Amino acid sequence: MTRSCCVINCNSRSHDHRRRRITPDIHFYRFPAWKRNSTSHVSDVTKRRRMAWIAAVRRPNITFDHTPPHMEVCSKHFHKGKPAYEMLECDPDWAPSLNLGHSEVKAAGTDRFERLGRRVTRCQEEAVTGEKESAEQASNSLPPPPDNTSHDADDVTPLYYSDNTAPTAETEAGTSGVVAQDGRAQLESTGAQQEYSECCLHLQEIVRLREENGMLKEELSKKSLDENFLRDNDCKVKYYTGLPSFALLMGVLMEIHPSLPKTDRKLSHFQILLLTLMRLRLDLPLDHIAHIFDISRQTTSTLFSDTINVLYSHLSPLVHWPERRFIQASMPHQFVEMFGNRETTKSTGKSRNLFQLQSDKRITENSGFLQKLSPGDLVLADRGFDVKESVALVGATLKMPAFTRGRSQLDAKDVEETRKLAHVRIHVERVIGCMRSKYTFLNDTIRLGLVVPLEGEDMTLLDKIVAVTCALINMCPSVVMKPTF
């Protein structure tokens, strides 16, 4: 992208018409922002600086509230080739001031900076002068030398001081050293004061940026789909995964964690599991999930298929046909009251063919369902699902709702029996409906790729998806509540 200077009559560009770099010596700088949320001092300084830049450039399409992002100022308009630190308001490069394309150039910034330099020099000279005056005053305060003419020859002062008289000279030297040290301290404090002020401003800015960084990280973590997004919020867990609690979700993750693929992707294992359950639960398109997790569509499809295979290998044992004694022990009381203490199953289907290839009866016979039956079992079926002969071959009984078959109305006995069947059938339909309503992926039109057997396997991906959803349903509370006595 070619960058250009927005100053009037300035032809500085970063690249030519062939997109070749013109010169690396020219740099471009955007208009400074107004840090209104910072401290009052920083807010005032940055506001004045933004106004100073806009006033210096003088373009009608640049205002305080609107500065187009492509509008930049090149390094030719600064004395040192770049803007000064925003808190050094007296620096001539605090705002652009060279070659601005108009005659009325405000040079107050340069004069002010020069005046500051002269003040610092004057303070240093005054400190040196004060040091000299202090030294002279100290020398004048010493006692005058003794008069040799007023004493006898025996009282003549020796040429060299003895040890007892030496402290007078040491005192003089000490006094001069103290004065010189005080002068240097004053000289150093003048230059250090400005550095101290700048350090304080830098420290305040660092503290503000750290606080802002912490707040932004906290806000970002709340919107990121990770463990913190669902922790301590079972309502979110139920909505996005269908599982009743976060603890159960983490239990599933701990179970399948060793088998999940180890990749260098930016998604964690928790996010991979969440991605898969979200698609089963909400039937989200692959493109939508890819945008949410900021990955490609192909990566999303691959992760979904791989995770389904892992879930199937670990959770498929949760879907099994219990022994007869366990079935009788856990049978809902409505079935016991209706049919007694015997095993009851329900078969339901559609009147249409599946892919125009197999009928419902053929599917029932080939699914292995009949091999699970034992003599004396009772099978409930919907109207039109005639598998009476197949069920009778294993010694079981088939019950279906009565229908008129040309009669004007049902007999009283058939009406009562149909009513009782409907009363218990609703619980089975609730279980089937719970699976389809909780994991809406099963309600959508199934793609052909899901019903094609996987390479080297007899099962299709759709078979594994159904088994996984059934296992997840079995982890949830039962739809038939046990009576409390």
Kindly state whether residues 184 and 86 are assigned to the same domain: no
Whether 123 shows a pLDDT value over 70: the answer reads no
Q: Is residue 119 part of a domain?
A: no
Tokens of 101: 């394309």
Contact 120, 191 (CB under 8 A): yes
Higher pLDDT, 467 or 477: 467
Whether 351 shows a pLDDT value over 80: the answer reads no
Higher pLDDT, 265 or 356: 265
* Calpha distance 474→435 (Å, rounded): 10
Mean pLDDT value of segment 337-346 = 54
* Calpha distance 52→84 (Å, rounded): 13
Alpha carbon 95 to chain centroid distance? Answer: 37
pLDDT band of 29, cuts 50, 70, 90 = very high
Give residue 215's domain range.
Answer: 126-143+166-221
End-to-end CA gap in the chain: 78
- The 3-state DSSP class for residue 385 equals coil
Q: Is residue 280 part of a domain?
A: no
Closest CA to 385 of 350, 357, 417, 353: 350
Q: Is residue 115 part of a domain?
A: no
Other Cβ atoms less than 10 A from the Cβ of 99: the count is 15
Residue at a domain's end among 205, 221, 237? 221
What's the structural domain count of the chain?
3
Contact 467, 419 (CB under 8 A): no
pLDDT tens per residue, range 76-106: 999 888 999 888 888 888 899 888 887 655 5
For 445, how many CA atoms within 13 A lie in the half-sphere containing its CB? 3
Alpha carbon 261 to chain centroid distance? Answer: 23
Tokens of 15: 């690249």
Q: Is residue 229 part of a domain?
A: no
pLDDT of residue 264: 61
* Calpha distance 260→305 (Å, rounded): 12
Contact 360, 349 (CB under 8 A): yes
Other Cβ atoms less than 10 A from the Cβ of 156: the count is 10
Kindly state whether residues 65 and 99 are assigned to the same domain: yes
pLDDT of residue 181: 56
- The 3-state DSSP class for residue 95 equals coil
Kindly state whether residues 337 and 431 are assigned to the same domain: yes
Kindly state whether residues 132 and 102 are assigned to the same domain: no
Kindly state whether residues 77 and 131 are assigned to the same domain: no
pLDDT tens per residue, range 282-331: 999 999 999 998 889 999 999 999 999 999 999 999 988 887 777 777 77
* Calpha distance 296→285 (Å, rounded): 13
* Calpha distance 203→137 (Å, rounded): 44
* Calpha distance 304→187 (Å, rounded): 72
Q: Is residue 314 part of a domain?
A: no
Q: Is residue 2 part of a domain?
A: no
- Name the one residue in this structure whose structure tokens are 């992002």: 69
Whether 159 shows a pLDDT value over 50: the answer reads no
Mean pLDDT value of segment 148-170 = 46
Kindly state whether residues 339 and 395 are assigned to the same domain: yes
> Alpha-carbon torsion 414, 416, 420, 426, what sign?
positive
Q: Is residue 480 part of a domain?
A: no
Higher pLDDT, 54 or 484: 54
Higher pLDDT, 419 or 12: 12
Is the pTM higher than 0.75? The answer reads no
- β-pair partners for 347: 381
Whether 216 shows a pLDDT value over 70: the answer reads yes
User: Among residues of the chain, what percentage have pLDDT more than 90?
Assistant: 21
pLDDT band of 162, cuts 50, 70, 90 = very low
Higher pLDDT, 120 or 318: 318
pLDDT of residue 408: 63
Contact 101, 8 (CB under 8 A): yes
Contact 109, 95 (CB under 8 A): yes
Kindly state whether residues 75 and 132 are assigned to the same domain: no
Q: Is residue 281 part of a domain?
A: no
Kindly state whether residues 346 and 432 are assigned to the same domain: yes
Kindly state whether residues 177 and 92 are assigned to the same domain: no
Which contiguous run of DSSP H or E holds residue 345?
strand 344-347
Contact 282, 317 (CB under 8 A): no
Kindly state whether residues 179 and 93 are assigned to the same domain: no
The mean-pLDDT minimum among 179-183, 255-259, 434-438 falls in 179-183
Tokens of 304: 């979904």
* Calpha distance 436→283 (Å, rounded): 11
* Calpha distance 21→15 (Å, rounded): 4
Alpha carbon 414 to chain centroid distance? Answer: 63
Residue at a domain's end among 221, 242, 264? 221
Kindly state whether residues 73 and 131 are assigned to the same domain: no
- Name the one residue in this structure whose structure tokens are 């910034």: 109
Ranges of H-type helices in 58-166: 108-140
- Is 413 buried (19+), middle (13-18) or exposed (0-12) by CB count in 10 A? exposed
Contact 49, 94 (CB under 8 A): yes
Kindly state whether residues 102 and 131 are assigned to the same domain: no
| 3-state helix vs strand vs coil in the chain, percent to 5 | 55, 5, 40
CA dihedral 362, 365, 369, 371 (to 10 degrees): -170
Mean pLDDT score of the chain: 77
pLDDT band of 446, cuts 50, 70, 90 = confident
Phi, psi (5° rounding) for residue 4? -135, 160
Phi, psi (5° rounding) for residue 177? -65, -40
